Amino acid sequence: MTQKEIENLRNTIKTASLKVISENIARMKKTSPNRPEIMQYFDEMANLFGQREKEIKELQDQGKKVIGYLCMFAPVELILAADAIPVRVGSGWYDPAKQGDKIVPVEVCPIVRSTIGTKMIGLSPFLEMSDVIINPPTCDGMTKLGEILSDQKSIWTLSAPRIKDDPQSLIFWKEEIKAMKKKIEGLTGVKITAKRLRAAIELRQKASLAFRRLQDVRKISPVIMGRDAMLVSQTITWDDTQRWTEKTMMLCDELERRVKQEEWACSPSNPRVMITGTPMFWPDNWKIPHLVEEAKPQGLIAADELCSGDRILYDPVGVDEWTGSDMLSAVAEKYLMASTCPCFTSADGNEDRINWLLDRIKEFKIDGVIYYTVRGCMLYAMEYARVKRILDKMNVPIYYLDTEYTREDVGQIKTRIEAFMEMLDTRVQLSRGTQP
Amino acid sequence: MITAGIDMGTQSVKVVILKDNKVLAQSSVFSGFDPAAAATEAFNKALEKAELTKSDLQYFIATGAGADMAPFHNSTISMMGADAKAATFLFPTARTIVDVGAEEARAVKCDENGVMQSFVVNERCAAGAGTFIETMARALEVEVEEMGPLALKAETASPINATCVIFGESDVVTLIHRQESKPEIARAIYDAMAERITSMVQRLGVTPDVVLIGGVAKDVGLVASLKRKLGIELLIPENPEFAGALGAALIAARKAGGASK
């Protein structure tokens, strides 16, 4: 492609994307007409070509470094401690996947293909602004994605072990985190002192606290639609942490007030759904949440087990002693031990994920689980059988939904989601003794 | 009580009119380019057969891929829900329902009340659905209706590995070049289809009795292959293509407060 063609393509896709972003928000508002006013903040933050892009650009011009990351294993606390800006750069855009097809076969996961395509046409402001990208090779796609992007970007590979509970894994991982700290210090010229690290850990802990508060209201009531909560969770991957925390606290104030007044976002008799599987990135890959919450009968996404959602902030770094080495160990442990990513295995399979799911199903009173994957997402696809076996035993309905980075299958997917919601609805009504 | 169900399928629109759980009339019209018009036509045909007018209907439910396009329906129901209802009405012992339509194959598990428990749908691939047979019939230069009887004449099977219609077709071309006989190739096509459907049904779990519905249930070639692959007897109603519309009409009767179970 010539420079001119690239530019045209970028502009076309960007224009289309801005439209998708505002349509997404309009659809979320339509489902929940009395959405809290403070959601407007997150709606604005959801504009990937908006205020936050400008803000980061300005900070970068003042000398701050931007550190992109492709997966949740990147130790955000260390980035913050070095006064750099962390941004997640995995692509949620559908259209650039077609560009990625020029480099890798269509069988490859669309997140990877689209991230490649996004780089080819320079679509993502955050990816473009990144001075470096941390790439944990967690799945095959991510492993090679780093190599492909390294033609145009500096990539720091952060190697996560595949077996959590072996003591040598943790030793290795801690060394990786230590090395990452040095790299970050080298890039930013900022020494990550104990004081700085503590401040960063505490900053993220506060964010986790705000997030947990949001979780608590979702547990007990349909006070916020799942899509809104998912958007809130995801925006922290590019927003300023402190401001995000303040705004989320304000949202929680309002939601807690509504819980007292029993002002619900949807009927409390709606089936409560949990989504698990491949990460779902804003803006284009919002189709499943839309379909669930716009379905007849309507579902409520009460929780998710996605590294693009509830998993981001669920576990804070837990520190015993605020010494430099203890804090660094605590950061390492959080990113390894708390992760439920299917890249892990053990004699009992990815046990932590299963337990996470079972706990959440109970806590959030989940009526049914949507197990979502995209084509080429081998780890999640292969882990399904085990998850299903266990949920079947618990008599929790689970539905496997696989899709692509495309809008063309919306009709088909809608049919399936509505059938699943109909089934859950019938079960919910029967269990409450009312004939549907 | 008089109710109706309409199944807005991808290839044809089916209408069933029920009176007190007895079929008064049914009709089928090719969906074509204007499914809404086809629906109106099918609906009017069925009314005419039943010697009724629209105002005689107490409740009208639409199902199928294009359910939203159906004219003046009271509500919609999923195809899987309709399948489960119809199958248990026709065969009270039905617990697993396999529905093979033009563009989609699916399997539904249900309880004794015809309430759906779980379901699977073939994943973005038509190799397990009716369209596959049509495409392959073209490759063999035979009428689609001849395919089934042709396959039954085969003595052995040449395995093909159909993961999609396009790959399936190129596999068939390979068999043609190897100068395999038409019956053998036809059998290979049905076996490949049955293989896809079987693995889908087995993912769901096979609980007898198993009912086969959908337009493709009328194809003797597929039925033979599917019985072989599943290793189980299949219950097939007289008009398997109307099962979806029947299920919708039955649910309509329940919604209207009738006696349907």
Q: List CB contacts of A115: < 8 A, sequence separation 6 or more.
A: A70, A89, A90, A91, A96, A100, A127, A145, A149
Q: What is the mean pLDDT of residues A223-237?
A: 98
Q: What is the mean pLDDT of residues A293-308?
A: 97
Class of domain B93-236 as given by CATH: alpha beta
Q: What is the mean pLDDT of residues A62-85?
A: 98
Beta strands in B9-148 (DSSP E): 12-19, 22-30, 59-63, 75-76, 96-100, 105-110, 116-121
CB proximity A415 to B under 8 Å: yes
Task: Please state, rounded to an integer, the average pLDDT across all residues of chain B.
Answer: 91
The number of residues in chain A equals 436
Q: What is the mean pLDDT of residues A344-350?
A: 89
Q: What is the mean pLDDT of residues A288-294?
A: 98
pLDDT digits (tens, 9 = 90+) for A165-192: 899 999 999 999 999 999 999 999 999 9
Residue B183 has a pLDDT of 94
A418 contacts in chain B (CB < 8 Å)? 78
Predicted confidence (pLDDT) at residue B125 exceeds the cutoff of 80:
no
User: Nearest 5°: CA angle at A280, between A130 and A404?
Assistant: 105
Quick one: which of A360, A207, A168, A337 has its CA closest to A274?
Answer: A360
Beta strands in chain B (DSSP E): 2-8, 12-19, 22-30, 59-63, 75-76, 96-100, 105-110, 116-121, 210-213, 234-235
Mutation choice for A interface testing from B76, B121, B164, B199 by most A CBs within 10 A: B121
Say if residues A211 and A249 touch (Cβ distance below 8 Å).
no
In the CATH hierarchy, which fold is given to the domain comprising B1-91+241-261? Nucleotidyltransferase; domain 5 (3.30.420)
Rounded to whole angstroms, the maximal C-alpha distance in chain B is: 61
Domains of chain A: 207-313+343-431 (3.40.50.11900)
Predicted confidence (pLDDT) at residue A367 exceeds the cutoff of 90:
yes
Q: Tell me the residue type at A87.
A: V
Mutation choice for A interface testing from B7, B78, B109 by most A CBs within 10 A: B78
The domain locations on chain B are 1-91+241-261, 93-236
What distance in Å separates residue B76's CA from the closest CA in chain A?
Answer: 9
Residue A348 has a pLDDT of 85
- Residue A302 phi, psi dihedral angles, 5° rounding: -90, -25
- Least CB-CB distance to B124: which of A399, A409, A422? A409
Predicted confidence (pLDDT) at residue B221 exceeds the cutoff of 90:
yes
- Alpha-carbon gap, residue B52 to B44, rounded angstroms: 9
A426 contacts in chain B (CB < 8 Å)? 115-116
A382 contacts in chain B (CB < 8 Å)? none
Quick one: which of A401, A306, A275, A374 has its CA closest to A88?
Answer: A306
- Hey, are the CB atoms on B115 and A426 less than 8 Å from each other? yes
B115 contacts in chain A (CB < 8 Å)? 426, 430
What distance in Å separates residue A59's CA from the closest CA in chain B?
Answer: 46
- Alpha-carbon gap, residue A378 to A382, rounded angstroms: 6
Say if residues B82 and B251 touch (Cβ distance below 8 Å).
yes
pTM for this model (two decimals): 0.91
What distance in Å separates residue A3's CA from the closest CA in chain B?
Answer: 36
Q: What is the mean pLDDT of residues B54-78?
A: 92
- Alpha-carbon gap, residue B160 to B169, rounded angstroms: 10
Residue A380 has a pLDDT of 97
pLDDT digits (tens, 9 = 90+) for A37-64: 999 999 999 999 999 999 999 999 999 9
What distance in Å separates residue A102's CA from the closest CA in chain B?
Answer: 22
Lay out the sheet containing B12-19: strands in order across.
B22-30, B12-19, B2-8, B59-63, B75-76
Say if residues B223 and B236 touch (Cβ distance below 8 Å).
yes
Q: What is the mean pLDDT of residues A329-358?
A: 94
Lay out the sheet containing B116-121: strands in order across.
B116-121, B105-110, B96-100, B210-213, B234-235
Predicted confidence (pLDDT) at residue B259 exceeds the cutoff of 70:
no
Quick one: which of A129, A197, A175, A162 has its CA closest to A341?
Answer: A162
Residue B260 has a pLDDT of 42
- Hey, are the CB atoms on A397 and B118 less than 8 Å from each other? yes
Of B62-66, B69-73, B169-173, the one with minimum mean pLDDT is B169-173
Q: List CB contacts of A406: < 8 A, sequence separation 6 or more.
A: A94
Percent of chain A having pLDDT more than 90?
95
Residue A433 has a pLDDT of 67
Q: Which stretch of DSSP H or E encloses residue A400?
A: strand A398-403
B12-19 and B22-30 beta bridge pairing: antiparallel
**Is residue B178 packed enough to be buried (19+ CB in 10 Å), middle (13-18) or exposed (0-12)?**
exposed
CB proximity A419 to B under 8 Å: yes
- Hey, are the CB atoms on B79 and A399 less than 8 Å from each other? no
- Hey, are the CB atoms on A411 and B65 less than 8 Å from each other? yes
- Hey, are the CB atoms on B123 and A402 less than 8 Å from each other? yes
- Residue B111 phi, psi dihedral angles, 5° rounding: -95, -175
Residue A436 has a pLDDT of 47
- Least CB-CB distance to A422: which of B81, B123, B124? B81
Say if residues A237 and A191 touch (Cβ distance below 8 Å).
no
- Alpha-carbon gap, residue A76 to A201, rounded angstroms: 9
Say if residues B47 and B54 touch (Cβ distance below 8 Å).
yes
Say if residues B192 and B76 touch (Cβ distance below 8 Å).
no
Residue A434 has a pLDDT of 57
What distance in Å separates residue B77's CA from the closest CA in chain A?
Answer: 8
B81 contacts in chain A (CB < 8 Å)? 419, 422-423
CB proximity A95 to B under 8 Å: no
Residue B261 has a pLDDT of 41
**Is residue A362 packed enough to be buried (19+ CB in 10 Å), middle (13-18) or exposed (0-12)?**
exposed
Residue B159 has a pLDDT of 77
Q: What is the mean pLDDT of residues A121-130?
A: 98
Quick one: which of A75, A15, A80 has its CA closest to A48?
Answer: A15
